[in-house]
Amino acid sequence: KMNQVQASTLETDINAPIPSHVPPELVVDFDMYNPPNVKRDFHQAWVDLRERSATDIVWTPRNGGHWITLKGEDIANMLGDYQRFKSNILLLPATSGDEYRVLPTTLNPPEHGPYRALLNAPLAAKTVMAMDPVIRRLASDAIESFRERGSCDFISEYSIVLPIKLFMELVELPTGDVERLKFLADQVTRPDGTMTVPEVMGAFAEFLDPFLRERRENPGKDGLSTIAAGLINGEQIDYEEAMDLAIQLLIAGLDTIASFLGFMMLFLANNPAHRRQLIDEPSLIPAAADEFIRRFGIVQNIRTVAVDQTFNGVVMKEGDHVCIPNLLHGLDPDVYDDPMEVDFTREIHDHSFFGNGAHRCPGTFLTRTEVRITLEEWLDRIPDFNVEAGEDVIMKGGGVGTVVSLPLTWDAER
User: pLDDT band at 293, cuts 50/70/90?
Assistant: very high
| For range 219-248, the mean pLDDT | 90
Chain centroid to Cα 241, Å, comes to 23
63: left (phi over 0), alpha (psi -120 to 50) or beta: left
The overall average pLDDT reported for the chain is 90
Q: What is the pTM of this model?
A: 0.90
pLDDT level of residue 14 (50, 70, 90 thresholds)? low
Express each pLDDT in 22-68 by its tens digit. Answer: 999 999 999 999 999 999 999 999 999 999 999 999 999 999 999 99
Please, which pLDDT band fits residue 99 given cuts at 50, 70 and 90? low
Judged against a pLDDT cut of 80, whether residue 269 lies above it is answered with yes
CA 3 – CA 238 distance, rounded (Å): 48
HEC string for 143-184: HHCCHHHCEEEHHHHHHCHHHHHHHHHHHCCCCCCHHHHHHH
